[in-house]
Amino acid sequence: RKLTKGVYSHCEIAVMKEVFVSGHHYETEVMYECYSSSIRDGGVRCKQIDVYDREKWDLIELEGVTEAQIKAYFDRTLGCKYDWWGALGIVLGIKQKRSKYFCSEWCFNAICGGESGWRFSPNQLAAIFNKEKS
């Protein structure tokens, strides 16, 4: 968090899913498919994460962003490795390697399109997308 200059050391795009748990359409369970590039998982991935713990997760609603848009970017980048040098480059101002991604880079690119995400930390993304809500 010292390197990212704020409270956030990681970011994800969480897509809410309602799953039917029985034959009745009223019995559903909410889960989240979370997309990012993760150090722990070695790069770009999607997995279910329990984001209900508000001590660990802050959810920021993304308006005008579709699940199809996120999945399309995920499909194009699946298998790409985590970009350690790019993550350090946020602090040092060094551009990343195009075939690898760190979390906020991947999330920004998925949300906004293009390849400019290498310039943003998780804290900067939180500031950008919280500001758009106000």
Q: Could you tell me if residue 3 is inside a domain?
A: no
- Sign of the CA dihedral 122, 124, 127, 133? negative
The residue-averaged pLDDT of 54-63 equals 92
Q: Could you tell me if residue 6 is inside a domain?
A: no
State the pLDDT confidence band at 70, using cuts at 50, 70 and 90: very high
Q: Could you tell me if residue 69 is inside a domain?
A: yes
The residue-averaged pLDDT of 35-60 equals 94
Say yes or no to pLDDT of 65 above 60: yes
- Which one is predicted more confidently, 43 or 86? 43
pLDDT at 95: 64
**Which pTM does this prediction carry?**
0.87
Residue ranges making up the domain that contains 60 = 13-133
The residue-averaged pLDDT of 126-134 equals 78
Q: Could you tell me if residue 5 is inside a domain?
A: no
- Which one is predicted more confidently, 134 or 48? 48
Say yes or no to pLDDT of 15 above 90: yes
Q: What is the pLDDT of residues 98-116, one digit of tens each?
A: 789 999 999 999 999 999 9
How many domains would you assign to the chain?
1
Based on its alpha-carbon atoms, the radius of gyration of the chain, rounded to whole angstroms, reads 15
Under DSSP, is residue 115 helix (H, G, I), strand (E, B) or coil?
coil
Q: Could you tell me if residue 101 is inside a domain?
A: yes
Distance CA 64, CA 62 (A): 7
Q: Could you tell me if residue 1 is inside a domain?
A: no
DSSP 43-107: EEEEEE-----TTT------TT--HHHHHHHHHHHTTPEE-HHHHHHHHHT----TTEE-HHHHH
Q: Which of 19-28, 49-58, 73-82 bottoms out in mean pLDDT, i.e. has the lowest?
A: 19-28
Q: Determine what percent of the chain is predicted with pLDDT higher than 70.
A: 88
Q: Could you tell me if residue 114 is inside a domain?
A: yes
